[in-house]
């Protein structure tokens, strides 16, 4: 395992871009059916959500997911890349890694002794 402080700037930005793309893909998949239904609701005022869902069917709710994944994945990756790129360029330090709360550490130690 490599710690972030041991990575070059290029490696850090590559990891950031990859993580941003994965996050964007996940967001696109999660939000796509709801966005499809909302688009249909806007085109058909007075229609209900269930009416639209029944009319569309499961297959139609996922129509266009691949271009959406490409678009949202890329946009999210670029946002993360720009954010991290600015931090790298201005040498803004990373926050220290989180530490385990003392109460949890003591609880885990007590459980290991049992």
Summarised one tens digit per residue, pLDDT across range 79-107 is 999 999 999 889 888 777 788 899 999 99
Q: What is the model's pLDDT at position 93? A: 82
> For residue 41, how many other CB atoms are within 10 A of its CB?
15
CA dist 60 → 20, 95, 98, 104 (Å): 27, 44, 44, 47
What kind and span of H or E run contains 95? none
User: pLDDT below 50 — which residues of the chain?
Assistant: none
Cβ neighbours for 41, distance < 8 A, ≥ 6 positions apart: 47, 49, 52
DSSP 100: -
Decide: pTM greater than 0.85: no
Q: What is the model's pLDDT at position 9? A: 86
Residue 22 in 3-state DSSP? Answer: helix
Q: What is the model's pLDDT at position 32? A: 97
């Amino acid at each position: 395992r490599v710690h972030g402080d041991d990575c070059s700037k290029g490696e850090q930005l590559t990891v950031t871009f990859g993580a941003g793309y994965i996050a964007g893909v996940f967001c696109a998949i999660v939000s796509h059916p709801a966005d499809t239904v909302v688009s249909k609701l806007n085109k058909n005022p007075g229609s209900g959500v269930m009416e639209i869902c029944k009319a569309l069917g499961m297959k139609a709710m996922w129509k266009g997911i691949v271009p959406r994944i490409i678009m949202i994945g890329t946009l999210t990756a670029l946002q993360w890349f720009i954010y991290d790129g600015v931090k790298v360029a201005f040498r803004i330090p990373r926050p220290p890694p989180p530490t385990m709360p003392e109460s949890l550490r003591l609880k885990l130690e007590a459980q290991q002794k049992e």
